[in-house]
Amino acid sequence: MTNAATTPYVREAIERLLGRFERGDYNPTPIIDLGTLVANADGVVDAQEIETLQQILEPLLGAQLDGELVGYLVNASLSVIKSAGVEPRMRVVAEILMDCDAVEEGIIVALAVAYASEGLSEAERALVTQLAKLCEVPDDRIAALIARVGSEMERGK
């Protein structure tokens, strides 16, 4: 399966997300947390998810990253999530995405991570749906975004 972060649709969402975070004067920490939340939804962050996070984070950080460094960022994020709790951290990420007018871009990035290894699991779908609800995204719109990223993945096989 192709890496979701390499599809044009997802790359464009990452570029828009970067611009909106810059305009909002935010650092990429919420995106690291979002990717980590999704990657860890099933309890394990695997190598394909790390690779996808690497491809997402490189343009956001403006630097080449290796898998070891991304693994470190994910572990640091997991520590924050463990301390704060999943729900409170999701609320913070949702608020930042709404403040930056980057909700759909954030959901697309979350779906790219979710599709990275074995496709969209039920745990990952539930987490992305929870984010969408926190961001007040209508059910039909989240379904359309899930279908679009899934379609991009099918085309890239």
The pLDDT value given to residue 2: 52
Q: Where are the beta strands (DSSP E) in the chain?
A: none
- How distant is the alpha carbon of residue 132 from its chain centre? 12
Q: Which pLDDT score, from 0 to 100, does residue 4 have?
A: 61
pLDDT score recorded for residue 105: 96
Mean pLDDT of 27-33: 88
Q: 4-155 — its CATH code? A: 1.10.3680
Sorting pLDDT into bands at 50, 70 and 90, what band is 1? Answer: very low
Tokens 């394909």 — which residue?
Answer: 48
State yes or no: pLDDT of 119 exceeds 90: no
Is-contact 53 44, C-beta < 8 A? no
Tokens (6 digits) for 36: 């980590």
Residue 60 has what pLDDT?
74
pLDDT band for position 103 (50/70/90)?
very high
Asked if pLDDT for residue 157 goes beyond 60, the answer is no
Domain layout of the chain by residue ranges? 4-155
| Mean residue pLDDT across the chain | 88
